[in-house]
Structure 1
Amino acid sequence: MSVNKNNTYNASRRSFLLKGSMASLGLLITGSSAWSRSFAIEKLPDSKFFGVQIGAITYSYRSMPHNVQQLLQYIVDSGISAVELMGEPVEDYAGKPADKNQVAEWRATVSMDKFKEVKKMFKKAGVSIYAFKPSALGANNTDAEVEYALRAAKALGANSVTVELPKDPAHSKRLGALAAKHKVYIGYHAHTQATDTAWDEALSQSPYNSMNLDCGHYIAAGGNNTKETLLALIQAKHNRITSFHIKDRKTKENGGANLPWGQGDTPLKEILNLLKEKKYNIPASIELEYTIPEGSDAVKETRKCLAYAKQALGA
């Protein structure tokens, strides 16, 4: 994932604070409990259409600084009812130390109570968490940190954690063994190194090793990766895919750019309707990576992506 610097950040941030709903006001004054009580009167989001769960990875809101409660407000304002949750906001809520040298020890010993609180907070607002992506699953992280990530995912209600597909098979073997111990899936994410066989070794190592398939990156890789091969890969591996990332990218031959939905080469409509027709129970995460237009913000653009998906599915 590449971070896009948005020149409209200050304007959108001021807009968010000025428009603040009573829910947001309750949050700023008295914290998450008041926010939850006020939110109970609001319409809950629903982004599941014909059995297809459209979600979002919360990386999509990186241009809008937030704590975990503000992040939840962005999600709900986007109309999203399920997410892949990045690690930083929830870890900060749970008390992660600012000193990086203390983080590994904190992860090894931290109570899951705050993670359970986040699950309840999100559930009350109509949002479920299907995947968790903390920076605790790398080759340099300890087994205790990996197990922390898996325990935290369970506490949040997620059935998988996500991480970049390792270059070293020994690492995916280690992760797969720990995942089996906790019965939480490891969803491996690939960028433009994605091929039809890129995940095969990891998948063979453990039934708890799975795919977090980024359809946009797959198309942007070009070469042998085509619309037809992507749809065939989804059908062939559907029982080993725990979540998708959905974005619209041009092929490598066309420059590989991230574009607003409907302007790139990713077969978004075909992917979504394949999930609908085959009844594959795989959440499709909006990942907002194209440049946010002047005068807009991540919430508005996520809503546009959601509207595109809803229309594509005929909802």
Structure 2
Amino acid sequence: MQNQDITRRQFLSASSMAAAGVVLFSGSTFGMPAYIKNLGKPNSLFNGVQIGAITYSWRSMPGSAEQILQYCIDCNISAIELMGPTGESFAGAPTAPPRPSGPPPAGGQRPEQTPEQKAAQAEYNTKMAEWRAKVPMDKFVQLGKMYKDAGVSIYAFKPSALGENNTDAEVDYAFRAAKAMGANQANIELPNDPAQTKRLGDIAAKNKVYVGYHGHTQQTPTWWDVALSQSKYNAMNFDMGHYVAAGFNPLELIQAKHDHIVSMHVKDRKSKENGGANVPWGTGDTPIIAALELMRKNKYKFPATIELEYDIPAGSDAVKETAKCVEYARKALMA
């Protein structure tokens, strides 16, 4: 009778856990039942469309690797585009000189640096170049594993190492670090000089990692064409919100160039005719729902990256607002 009671209790316990969405599998740890590996982890893959976020979305908050990972979990984000400082700081990079404090000046332009600030920045750039050329990939592998174990994949890396003034060794480092973290792309604003996109494309090809070129309101339907013709590893980090503010239809571009898009930034902006302002999702002119539906229907595999740029309302924060965007995308994809 005692054994029957235990069996009955086990069955009732298992049944209640199954009803709550908990799945058991055979095996145990320290006498406790083991659970399916991704239980309780974030999941922003909705009906085949991967919703991600760029860590720039949380620029108003502390940005260590551990803190960024917690933001992902809090927002239900399971894939990210990682900005350089977070990854490089984790890997032991030299400390950057302090930025000027205080509110941003009118127009958003940074004030002219003093000679002392320029000298400090130049010294830091030299130290970073030396560090990037020599740093082992172990810490980047560790970072990628830490995120993956928590249910978050890193699909893109965006360090300040792909510019015209960066050495070939720095550029090579950017792709190697991206690959070490599990990413298939390292991203940068599209350079104006075709010689630079040729250089980046060649080094990207050597590493078999894409370089995703990002743009703002200078984007046009043909803006990427020269770079795309130079290397199959030259690709697009398309920003559909900025594209709308530039006066174009992003749905047409997505359909025409989806084979070249490795990731797509998603934000809601007013159209060029309506002033181009960044606004909360669902209140602007960017066809976010139609774009996500297009991705689902055609099974496009590039991630849709949330980039939070609208003003955060009083009483909220960047994590809460990013979570709203995730939920907006989930409902749009009927997941």
TM-score (norm. length: structure 1)? 0.85
The alignment partner of 1:263 has SS state of: coil
The yes-or-no answer on 1:231 pairing with 2:231 is no
Secondary structure of the corresponding residue to residue 201 of structure 1: helix
Mind listing any 5+ residue stretches in structure 1 that lack a counterpart? 1-39
Match of 1:154 among 163, 179, 185: 179
Deviations 1:126-158 (A, max 9, x none): 000110000000011000000000000000000
CA distance in 2, matches of 1:278, 1:57: 24
TM-score, normalised by the number of residues in structure 2: 0.80
Deviates more, 1:290-299 or 1:42-51: 42-51
Give the match for residue 221 of structure 2: 196
1:66: Cα distance to partner? 2.4
Residues 225-247 of structure 1 show CA distances to partners (whole Å, capped at 9, x for unaligned) of 13xxx212111111110000000
CA distance in 2, matches of 1:102, 1:168: 26
Alignment counterpart, residue 133 of structure 2, candidates 105, 108, 132? 108
Per the alignment, residue 311 of structure 1 pairs with 331
Residue 290 of structure 1: how far off its partner (Å):
0.2
TM alignment of 1:205-220, pairs within 5 A: 205-220=230-245
Distance in 1 between the 2:91 and 2:39 partners? Answer: 26
Deviation at 1:67, TM superposition (A): 1.0
1:268 alignment partner, one of 284, 288, 291: 288
Query: In structure 2, what is the Cα distance between the partners aligned to 1:103 and 1:195?
Result: 34
Correspondence 1:273-292 to 2 at 5 A: 273-292=293-312
Report deviation, 1:42.
7.2
Task: Render the CA deviation track for 1:185-244: whole Å, top value 9, x for unaligned.
Answer: 00000100000000000000000000000000000012xx13xxx212111111110000
Distance 1:66 1:192 in 2: 27
CA–CA distance in structure 1, aligned partners of residues 165 and 43 of structure 2: 38
Corresponding letter in the other structure for 2:297: E
Residue 71 of structure 1: how far off its partner (Å): 1.0
Partner of 1:255: 275
% of aligned pairs identical?
Answer: 65
The amino acid that maps onto 1:76 is I
The answer to whether structure 1 residue 301 and structure 2 residue 301 are counterparts is no
Q: Does the residue aligned with 2:51 lie in a helix, a strand or coil?
A: strand
Q: Secondary structure at the match of 1:207?
A: coil
Does the 8 A contact of 2:38 with 2:151 survive in 1? Answer: no
- State the distance in 2 between where 1:219 and 1:161 align: 24
| Secondary structure of 1:281's aligned partner | coil
Is residue 76 of structure 2 the alignment partner of residue 51 of structure 1? no
Q: CA deviation at 1:253?
A: 1.2
Code of the residue aligned with 1:300 in structure 2: it is K
CA deviation after TM superposition for structure 1 residue 41, in Å: 9.8
Q: Secondary structure at the match of 2:273?
A: helix
Q: Do residues 70 (structure 1) and 67 (structure 2) align?
A: yes
How far apart are the structure 1 equivalents of 2:40 and 2:316? 23
3-state secondary structure, aligned to 1:119: helix
Please give the alpha-carbon distance, in whole angstroms, between the structure 1 residues aligned to 2:62 and 2:279.
Answer: 23
Q: 2-side partners of 1:134 and 1:248: how far apart?
A: 25
Superposition map of 1:77-92 within 5 A = 77-92=74-89
**Residue type of the partner of 2:165?**
N
Distance (whole Å) between structure 2 residues aligned to residue 68 and residue 156 of structure 1:
12
Q: Which of 180, 188, 200 is 1:163 aligned to? A: 188
Map Cα deviations across residues 72-112 of structure 1 (whole Å, 9 max, x no partner): 10111110000000010110111111261311000000000
Q: Show structure 2 runs of 5+ residues with no match.
A: 1-36, 96-122
CA distance in 2, matches of 1:154, 1:295: 39
Please give the secondary structure, in 1, of the residue aligned with 2:131: helix
